[in-house]
Structure 1
Amino acid sequence: MNAIELLTQDHRNMRALLEELAGTTTRALKKRRDLLEKIETNLRVHNTIEEEIFYPAFKDAGDGKDDAKTYFEALEEHRAAGDLVLPDLLETDPSSEKFSGRAKVLKELFEHHADEEEKEMFKRARALLGKQTLEALGDRMAQRKVELKKRPEAA
């Protein structure tokens, strides 16, 4: 599987989890906790493989300010979702409306980020990297995902 297919599949999985979380009520405590655990793991693994493997390859292949801007914007969106909103959500009482609000914000941030990647960055990556490189990156990313899921603290 090439890198773009792998990341797009991750995006679909995350969208489904975030949609399900956003649809829960303040009474669905167990479901909220279970979903949040899956979201945390999947988001950290996804962000890690992008930041360690895909983004550097994109940046290195890039040929101008627009590519560098895309790279740094993607990193900042990871920081906003993974380092700011997600930790706040993890610390929020799942029976509260505050949890509902934070879950919605995380969903919206992720959807914005994934949409930008899929419409802009991935299109550009296909042109910059080519099919063979994307296949090799996809293999490395799939292997790294397995490692990260075995050792969640590494993510």
Structure 2
Amino acid sequence: MTTVINKKPKSTVLPRSRDATTLLRADHQLLSELFNLYERASTNAMKKKLVGQICMELSVHAQVEEEIFYPAVKQALKDHELVPEAFIEHETLRSLIAQIEGVEPDGEMFDAKVKVLCEYVEHHVKEEQSEMFPKAKATQLNMMELGDKITARKQELIAERS
């Protein structure tokens, strides 16, 4: 069985207008798939390519959340807990990304960093999807408008990184 990792990341083909939480959930699913592929990767070249995809997807995702989604949610919910915590979690994610992005996979310590990043992302995703997203959807926020803004910004960020 051949694992396909030469395909472009799915985010480079952005969907037409969808609501913000649907777009963010799709990002979460893509990241989960990429981490699963990493776990099964058998060569350092495969691992390096997957880590590059993971870091790009995660960086773009975090940036659109911070620039567009989180400020809107913070204002709508008058939140002083969920959003600040999410920002802090993103800082930790950036630190882990900096330790693996562009680095040659060199064994167990590199794999451990990717594993910790995966676990941290899983924790963050669980909180967003079970706490933040339902609360945000219960507000008067226009999720389609936010989704359009997220899609446009992702296109810009992906173009900058290409």
Q: Given the two structures, how large is their TM-score scaled by the length of structure 1?
A: 0.88
Correspondence list, 1:42-121, <5 A: 42-63=57-78, 67-82=79-94, 84-90=95-101, 92-121=103-132
Larger displacement relative to structure 2 (68-77 or 86-95): 86-95
Instruction: Map Cα deviations across residues 75-97 of structure 1 (whole Å, 9 max, x no partner).
Output: 01111112x11111236540311
Stretches of structure 2 that go unaligned for 5 or more consecutive residues are 1-17
- Cα contact 1:22–1:103 (8 A) shared by 2: no
Aligned 8 A contact 2:44 2:104 in 1: no
Q: Which deviates the most, 50-59 or 28-37?
A: 28-37
For residue 56 of structure 1, report the CA deviation from its aligned partner. 0.3
* Identity of matched residues, %: 34
Aligned residues: 145
Of residues 134, 156, 161, the one that matches 1:152 is 161
Alpha carbons 1:58, 1:129 under 8 Å: kept: no
Q: Aligned residue for 1:21?
A: 38
Contact 1:2-1:137 at 8 Å conserved across structures: yes
Question: Following the alignment from structure 1 to structure 2, what is the Cα–Cα distance between the partners of residues 29 and 110?
Answer: 22
